[in-house]
Structure 1
């Protein structure tokens, strides 16, 4: 399941207005600006799927200012445990990906947020994430 997607944009305010109007037609709601407290983590403007936060795993879309030289896709994939995050990151690296940052807690995104970030051959970035507050997807 997709947990979240980052969309890199050239004008955050203009894009936030566009996505607010567009996504509301699909039942999404605006989260608003998330000011980052961590070095190297950009400010984000978020939108949440209607089930997000209602006891179900939901998807989110986050707009971020495009950085110079940035390419590719950034997508977050749901894992059911920190151990599954570790196993998926290990499998990605064994298949040829690069570990972008150490696997571990990302407290700047909230308590119970555990993730690994990998980069594939073409610069696409994949985050494997377990949020302890999400219900498990599999038994």
Structure 2
């Protein structure tokens, strides 16, 4: 199981704003700040504090990656996509089933301010729904 990941970003304030808004539908929020380094996390159970899972670390020339986060429902995928676009992300694949991965693979993709491919996926989404 992965404990955390560091994501290189050019402008921490811009990326922090983007990720806080884009991932709010999944319950993520900024949980720690150490100078320009920021961490986001989502509380799992009601009695568990949100642990720092996604670290945003300054880097002058970041290498872009594909980061996929799990959603509990197709509605969370839809809400993520809308929130990420509203926060300035660029559409890289609207919400819908990607049956070529497996039936019910419901996901949306957005490019963040640095070009990282951010995906949110629900593995038990509606079968037969094409991406938007």
Question: What TM-score, normalized to structure 1?
Answer: 0.44
Q: TM-score, normalised by structure 2?
A: 0.46
Q: Decide which structure has greater strand share.
A: 1
